[in-house]
Structure 1
Amino acid sequence: MFVKTGPHGGSMRGSIGWVAQVRLKQGQFGSDNYILCHAGNGGWLMQHSNNVFYPLNPDEVELVRPFFADRLPENEDFSRGYTLGSEETRAFGFLIDPPEGFETRGGEGARMRMTTIDADGSKTLTETVFL
């Protein structure tokens, strides 16, 4: 399935992709960790958690598919599984349950900033830091 992520700090290229794998409850704060394949450079994988994902409609999928020509889901070799940067994190399949003894990452030190702009143009900045 091709999706667009919710708010994302990177470019639009890092916001649209197809879902290669979902690691249940393995994201920061115990959310699901989605591994998306993004367009460009032969297709690159990126983890996304603590976000919302909007499925692309068929017309949108047809518009973005040419950008994924190097790595389309129907041509992917899923038999090798996916890692999160090290071999011990390799997992096979689409929906992956947490491994035995898995402890949720808390996200300590994560930050979030939100700017609110009022009708008169005044701005308020709220910064949240997870301790």
Structure 2
Amino acid sequence: MAVVKAGVVVLDCAEPEKLSAFYEQLLEGEQTEASANLVEVRGADGLRLAFRRDLNATSPSWPRPENSLQAHLVFYVEDMDEAERRVVGLGGRPVETKDPAGPYEERGYADPAGHSFTMRLMPITAPKQG
């Protein structure tokens, strides 16, 4: 029997209410918990993220080395251009939009508080033949 039953990724930020609203809309989810210093969101697919108030939080500087990634999220999408329009429309910004080498298309973004995340195109899986 597993000791750990569930987990949640927590991002530190100065304004958890604002940052949680960005991810709530991006993930088409809902706020599941809120207190003075923590807001949790569950996405439509069950992904759980929380945002903890830290008045001294500094935005990651990726790709610059000082204060680099801190945390990095990857979201799988079916339509990369639609995902980018949604991110930008919600207040996120592209940080790496060049096409990387390799079999998977992905693009880097920053949320309104500066945390980096990647949108990666879901691999197409063909049904088994015979």
Structure number, greater radius of gyration = 1
TM-score interval for Structure 1 and Structure 2 normalised by the shorter chain: under 0.3
- For normalisation by structure 2, the TM-score amounts to 0.24
- TM-score with structure 1 setting the length: 0.24
